[in-house]
C-alpha cells in the first residue's frame, strides 16, 4: 500500500472531545427516499470508531446542489439521519437549522454525552460553503475541538466544511478510514502498481480527461480508451467518424498522446469496431433505437458511434485478463440505454472476472458495476468520481492536504 503521510483517526484520542466529522452523505434521493446508501455505509467504520472511542460525534455533509431557496426542502439531510440511525442501531439527532449552525445545532451539541451522534443540516444551505468563506468555517469550527475529514467525494474541492474549518478548529485535523482507504488504493495503483497495469478511460469528452490521459500514460503499461472520447482519437488517426461525438480542437492533443505512447513504449488501445445509430436516443434510454455494428473504418457519414463493438469488447477484456492492476473510469458507450450498454457491461464483467487488483474510479462506471451486482467482485469502488479523476491526474487534493502531516 502507498503510504499516506497524513494523521488518521488512529493517531488521536477523542475521548470526551467534540469531533466534527465531514462525511460524504451526498446520496441519490427520490421523493425523499434514499435510493442508494453506499456512501452512508462507506462512512460507518469511521463513525463507529469515533463512537467507540467516546467522542461526541458531530457529522456534517453536503447533499446535491442548491441554486435557489426552493431547492432546499428536497435537499435536507433529514432522511440521512434516519438511515444512519438504522445502520448504527442508535439515535442520530438531526439538528434542523436553516443556517446549519444555529440554535438547534448548538443546543444539540451542548447536550451531547460521550458516544452521542448529531448530524447537522446540509452544509450547502449556506452559500459560503462552496466559496470557502470564513464566517461559515468559523461557525462550524465553534462546535468542535477536533476535525476528521472522511469525505473523499469532495476532497478535490476547497470548501468551508472540509478545508476552511481546519483554520479555526485548533485540531488535530485528521482523515477518517474511508479517506485513508481511497487514497491508499488509488495511490498504490498509480505510484506503485503490480504490473501489468491497465488503465481504462471512457466517458463523453476528451477535454475533461486531458491531464488524466497524459498522467496515466506515464504510469500504466496499457491505456484503453472507450466512450465518446475515443472518436476524437479515431479522427486523429485519420478515420471518418460520421456524426460521432468529436472535439476538433483536441485532434492535435490526441496525436500528441499517441506519439507519447509510442515514445514511452506503452500500448494505447482504441476501439476497432463500433455500435452505431443514426441519431442520439431521445429519451436517452429509448429501447427502440436501431443499431448496427461496423468496423471503425466503416462508419457511414450519417451515423454515430454509441458503444464499443464486440471485437473491441473482446480486445479490452483480454487486456484486463492479462493485467495485475486495473483502474477504470468512465463508461464505454451510452450505457444509460440498455441497447448501448454492452461495452460498459463487458468491461465491468472483465474486471469482475479478473484476479487483478481492480479499482473503479467512481461516477458512472461505479454506478454501472453496482447495478450489475459486481460490487463485491471489485477490489475497490471509489466513492468519489471527480476526486478520483483528479487524483489520477496526479493533483494534490485540497481536502487531503488540509489534514495534519504525520509526525
Q: Least Å distance between CB 275 and ligand AMP?
A: 9
- HSE of 390, CA atoms in CB hemisphere, 13 A: 16
Dihedral-angle region of residue 144 (phi above 0 means left; psi in -120 to 50 means alpha; beta otherwise):
beta
Cell numbers for 174, please give them. Answer: 485528521
Judged by beta carbon, residue 115 or residue 386, the one nearer ligand AMP is: 386
Handedness of CA 49, 50, 54, 57 (dihedral sign): negative
Verify whether residue 298 is a known catalytic residue.
no
Please state, as a whole number, how many other Cβ atoms lie within 10 Å of the Cβ of residue 221: 19
Are the C-beta atoms of 365 and 202 separated by less than 8 Å?
yes
The active-site residue, picked from 39, 126, 266, 313, is 39
CB of 122 to ligand AMP, least distance (A): 24
Compute φ and ψ for 221, nearest 5 degrees. Answer: -95, -35
Closest to ligand AMP by CB, 176 vs 242, is 242
Residue 25 or 233: the one with the smaller Cβ distance to ligand AMP is 233
Among residues 153, 363, 385, 399, the one annotated as catalytic is 363
Q: Which is nearer to ligand AMP, 208 or 404 (CB)?
A: 208
Q: Which residues bind ligand AMP (CB under 6 A)?
A: 203-205, 208, 227-228, 245, 305-306, 330-331, 333-334, 336, 363-364
Report the alpha-carbon angle 78-79-83, nearest 5. 120
Whose Cβ is closer to ligand AMP: residue 193's or residue 203's? 203
Taking the complex as a whole, how short is the minimal distance between the CB of residue 363 and ligand AMP, in angstroms? 6
- Whether 386 is catalytic: yes
Question: Which is the catalytic residue, given 54, 133, 171, 386?
Answer: 386
Interhelix angle 210-219/385-392, nearest 10 degrees: 50
Least gap, CB of 245 to ligand AMP (angstroms): 4
CB of 4 to ligand AMP, least distance (A): 27
Helices (H), 166-229: 177-191, 210-219
Just list the catalytic residues.
Answer: 39, 205, 363, 386
Amino acid at each position: 500500500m502507498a503510504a499516506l503521510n497524513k494523521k488518521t483517526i488512529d493517531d488521536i484520542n477523542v475521548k470526551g472531545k467534540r469531533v466534527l466529522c465531514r462525511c460524504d452523505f451526498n446520496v441519490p434521493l427520490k421523493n425523499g427516499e434514499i435510493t442508494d446508501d453506499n456512501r452512508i455505509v462507506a462512512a460507518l467504520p469511521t463513525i463507529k470508531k469515533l463512537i467507540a472511542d467516546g467522542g461526541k460525534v458531530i457529522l456534517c455533509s453536503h447533499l446535491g446542489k442548491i441554486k435557489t431557496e426552493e431547492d432546499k426542502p428536497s435537499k435536507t439531510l433529514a432522511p440521512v439521519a434516519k438511515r444512519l440511525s438504522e445502520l448504527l442501531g442508535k439515535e442520530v439527532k438531526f439538528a434542523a437549522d436553516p443556517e446549519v449552525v444555529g440554535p438547534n445545532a448548538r443546543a444539540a451539541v451542548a447536550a451531547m454525552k460521550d458516544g452521542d451522534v448529531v448530524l447537522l443540516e446540509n452544509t450547502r444551505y449556506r452559500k459560503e460553503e462552496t466559496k470557502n468563506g470564513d464566517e461559515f468555517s468559523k461557525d462550524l469550527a465553534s462546535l468542535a475541538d477536533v476535525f476528521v475529514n472522511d469525505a473523499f467525494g469532495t476532497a478535490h474541492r476547497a470548501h468551508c466544511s472540509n478545508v476552511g474549518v481546519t483554520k479555526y478548529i485548533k485540531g488535530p485535523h485528521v482523515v477518517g478510514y474511508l479517506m485513508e482507504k481511497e487514497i491508499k488504493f488509488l495511490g498504490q495503483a498509480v505510484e506503485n502498481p503490480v504490473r501489468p497495469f491497465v488503465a481504462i478511460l471512457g466517458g463523453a469528452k476528451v477535454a475533461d480527461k486531458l491531464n488524466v490521459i497524459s498522467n496515466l500514460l506515464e504510469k500504466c503499461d496499457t491505456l484503453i480508451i472507450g466512450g465518446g472520447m475515443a472518436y476524437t482519437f479515431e479522427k486523429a488517426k485519420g478515420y471518418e467518424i460520421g456524426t460521432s461525438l468529436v472535439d476538433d480542437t483536441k485532434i492535435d492533443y490526441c496525436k500528441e498522446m499517441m506519439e507519447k505512447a509510442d515514445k514511452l513504449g506503452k500500448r494505447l488501445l482504441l476501439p476497432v469496431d463500433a455500435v452505431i445509430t443514426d441519431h442520439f436516443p431521445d429519451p436517452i434510454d429509448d429501447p427502440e433505437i436501431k443499431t448496427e455494428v461496423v468496423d471503425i473504418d466503416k462508419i457511414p457519414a450519417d451515423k454515430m458511434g454509441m458503444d464499443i463493438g464486440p471485437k473491441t469488447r473482446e480486445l479490452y477484456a483480454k487486456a484486463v485478463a492479462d493485467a495485475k492492476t486495473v483502474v477504470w473510469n468512465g463508461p464505454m458507450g451510452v450505457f444509460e440505454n440498455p441497447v448501448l450498454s454492452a461495452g460498459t457491461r463487458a468491461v465491468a464483467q472483465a474486471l469482475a472476472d479478473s484476479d487483478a487488483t481492480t479499482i473503479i474510479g467512481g461516477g458512472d462506471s461505479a454506478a454501472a458495476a453496482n447495478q450489475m451486482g459486481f460490487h463485491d467482485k471489485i477490489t475497490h469502488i471509489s466513492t468519489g468520481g471527480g476526486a478520483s479523476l483528479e487524483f489520477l491526474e496526479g493533483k494534490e487534493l485540497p481536502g487531503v492536504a488540509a489534514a495534519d502531516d504525520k509526525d
